[in-house]
Amino acid sequence: MWFRANKLAVNVSKTKYIIFHSRQKRLNKNICKVYFDNNDIGSPVDNGLFTELGRISSKNPLVQERYKNLGILIDEHLSLDQHNSYLAAKISRSLYFISKVKNTVLPKPALKNLYYALIHPHFLYCASIYSCTSAKNIRKLLIL
């Protein structure tokens, strides 16, 4: 009703929802269903106009297990494990490139510029989210 009142359209094939919870909490799959009601307000209800929305969940292999928002991978447990792995892979690729060119004719300042161009921005972008991740994830990035 809010979408209709504000004259907004919903693409139900692209709309997903996520339920944040701790790893220990089990969710009942039947209770955790969300439907989009495409019936007009005030008209008789047609059950054929209800569409079940997809859920982002790590437990079901048939659905998306994480959500990417502004470059940050968010999962239902807010652990940031997947984002950390994604970031570590990106940084490792850049480090490989720098290690290949370090024995060439490039001077040290140029290598430093490569670091600040290829790697450092990944550490700076949304740095405040790392306060929510585990010490294991932070250690993995510090080693890199």
Reported as a single tens digit per residue, the pLDDT across 94-110 is 999 888 888 887 888 99
pLDDT of residue 102: 82
- CB distance 86 to 144 below 8 Å: no
* E-state strands within 7-53: 16-18, 35-37, 50-52
- CB distance 73 to 90 below 8 Å: no
Structure tokens at 16: 């997903």
Phi-psi category of 25—alpha, beta or left, where left has phi over 0 and alpha has psi -120 to 50? Answer: beta
| Residue 113 reports pLDDT greater than 90 | yes
Q: What is the identity of the amino acid at 118?
A: L
pTM tops 0.75: no
DSSP string, 49-79: GEEEPEEE-SS-TTS---EEETTEEE-TT--
Spell out the domain ranges in the chain.
1-65, 78-143
